[in-house]
Amino acid sequence: MPDQEVWTQGRRHCLHDLLSYQHWTLLAVSPRPEPDPAPEAVAAAHAAPVTVRVLDPSHGVSPHLPAGTLVLVRPDLHIALRARGPEEVRDCLGRWSTRTGAIRDEGHGRARPGR
């Protein structure tokens, strides 16, 4: 996903500055300043660390991020999922991580810590 200017919590940020190698990031594009409880609940209930960032679409977020979109970004900064609802996010996190929070390494068949 290209870097772009986004607004969250009333402040302007570069999108890539909101992502981290330390955790999964769930971008929730919503005109409400408070996080939707559904994505927050998915993040809180999962063993892997997930940070929810609510992006305000009223400031001209790109067409890649329309209102209502949830984008799950892996710790390696690749997009794991674009979703329209928290159920899809829950399923994706379940496929990628273990109960201990380790992230499955699909290419090598072993897990690495989810930090």
Domains and CATH numbers, the chain: 5-104 (3.40.30.120)
Looking at residue 90, what is its pLDDT?
82
For residues 77 and 44, what is the distance between their CA atoms, to the nearest angstrom?
20
The three state secondary structure string of 64-114 is CCCCCCEEEECCCCCEEEEECCHHHHHHHHHHHECCCCCEEECCCCEEECC
Tell which residue, 41, 60, 62, has the closest CA to residue 50: 41
DSSP conformational letter for 23: S
Strand partners, 71: 27, 82
What are the angstrom distances between the C-alpha of 75 and each of 22, 25, 34, 61?
A: 6, 8, 24, 22
Which of 17-21, 47-51, 98-102 has the lowest average pLDDT? 98-102
Of 71 and 2, which is predicted with more confidence? Answer: 71
With a CB cutoff of 8 Å and minimum separation 6, the contacts of 109 are: none
pTM over 0.85: no
Using a pLDDT cut of 70, give the percent of the chain over it.
Answer: 65
pLDDT in tens, 46-98: 667 888 888 888 776 667 778 888 899 988 899 989 988 888 888 888 777 65
Strands 110-112, 103-105: pairing kind: antiparallel
Q: Which of the four pLDDT bands, split at 50, 70 and 90, describes residue 35?
A: low
Average pLDDT score, the chain? 75
